[in-house]
Amino acid sequence: MDDRIQIESVLNNLVYALFAHGGQAETSGRPSDFGNMVVFDNPEAVDTIVKAPELFRKNFSLISALGFSRFNTNDQDWSVRRTITQDVYLAAAKPAQQHPVAEIFATCLSSSDATLPAIQQSLFAASMTIFYRAFGLVPDMAATLLLLDRVRDVLRRLQYYSWVTPTTAERGNAIQDARAVVADFASLLMADPRAAAEMDRFRSEATDIEGFSPVEEFVMNFFAGVETSVTTALWVIDRLGANQQVQDRIHAEVLSGDAQTPYTDCMINETMRFFPPIPFLTREVGADTVLEGRRLYAGQLIMVSIVGVHQNPAFWSNPRVFDASRKEFLDNSFDRRAFIPFLTGPRMCGGARLGRLEVREAVLAIVRQFAFSRADDVIRFDYALALRPAQGASVSVSRR
């Protein structure tokens, strides 16, 4: 079997298994084991984990071959890194940015062919534009899209090798490819004086961090921001195609011109509940402790299943059904601990507001411009740190 196919199928099967596993811990009242990891999917236990980042720490082992950033560091190192980008993301999500973000999606999609791959490409172009714009930059679109594909590919391999021990050669190749993609990203950024100046700003704010690389910081932030937002919009398309009535209702709501779009917002929430863009997290236990009656040891890796939290039957009615008009969302009656697509606590998504803004404006622009239908309703994943619909899903597209 081709290495790539093997890697994709192992990772996808892991996520399918997490879906199958969703809510089981609740039934037994205890966390359960998944391979050699303890999985937590009870919203209360997960809330404890994510609110204690000094005890449940980030450790991405091999993934760190792609470098260090606020995503995969801890303590003071993380805190300094967070400061470099956090205000940028908050400013990019202010209400005044709603119109420009809407314009970017509308423009990118208006020149797109009516095919799923073309729409996907346009969404990536829009999201990349928005990410770069937050830093006052403009991406070299073609080159940056290729780099994004390479980052995804490298991350998928590194993640696979954190589960399935690689040979020395495989490990060496993956690390070499990770370094090459960061080096190529660096060349591209440094060729643009404004981007080079921004990298200087990153560096000047991180003088206390030994070996700090502004490009590593940028690359992982870039992937975290772009991949997740686009993925969410792609799942919305997938579900619109599967349900004509839902699509008609959302189309009518969007065309009504009303500023409030409760059904569209509900559909987006339900999409993120059912297909959380980051379906699970791992954490390293910092010191011996006990959680939900389970003894945990310093150095042990544990898993937080966001899929499982989102499908916990004690917190959701019919959690395994995709319900575009889910009552808990329409009534705003859901327990905040049971809906964590952006996580909660100190290590929650740094771009949560921007992500929400992007997804909403992307969906509004998509629904205005395109109609979707599906010949079947088979759900197939492609997991590479973010969970997206598999390429080649049977969605037909037409321009409205």
- Cβ atoms 7, 157 nearer than 8 A: yes
Encoded one letter per residue, x for contact with ligand HEM by CB under 6 A and - for no contact, window 90-129 reads: ----------------------------------------
62 binds ligand HEM (CB under 6 A): no
- Tell the smallest beta-carbon distance from residue 343 to ligand HEM (Å): 4
Instruction: Pick the stretch among 165-173, 224-232, 240-248, 308-316 that binds ligand HEM (CB under 6 A).
Output: 224-232
Q: Please, which residue, 361 or 371, has the CB nearer to ligand HEM?
A: 361
Question: What is the number of helices (H) and of strands (E) in the chain?
Answer: 15, 11
Rounded to whole angstroms, the maximal C-alpha distance in the chain is 59
Shortest distance, position 193 Cβ to ligand HEM, whole Å: 23
Q: How far apart are CA 101 and CA 114, in angstroms?
A: 21
Q: Which two tokens stand for residue 260?
A: 């409030």
Q: Is 302 in the site for ligand HEM (CB under 6 A)?
A: no
Segments in 22-140 forming alpha helices (H): 24-28, 43-50, 75-92, 98-110, 116-134
381 backbone dihedrals φ, ψ, rounded to 5°:
-100, 160
- According to the binding rule CB under 6 A, does residue 347 interact with ligand HEM? yes
Residue with smallest beta-carbon separation from ligand HEM: 351
Residue with tokens 């699509």: 247
Shortest distance in whole angstroms from residue 73 CB to ligand HEM: 8
CB of 101 to ligand HEM, least distance (A): 11
User: How far apart are CB 230 and ligand HEM at their closest, in Å?
Assistant: 9
Closest-CA residue to 158 (of 145, 148, 173, 144): 173
Out of 82, 171, 179, 294, the residue judged to bind ligand HEM by CB under 6 A = 82
Using CB under 6 A as the binding rule, whether residue 341 contacts ligand HEM is answered as yes
Q: Which amino acid is at 354?
A: L
Q: Which two tokens stand for residue 117?
A: 């791959």
Eight-state DSSP code of residue 36: T
Where does this chain bind ligand HEM (CB under 6 A)?
70-71, 82, 89, 131, 221, 224-225, 228-229, 232, 277-278, 281, 341-343, 347, 349-351, 354-355, 359
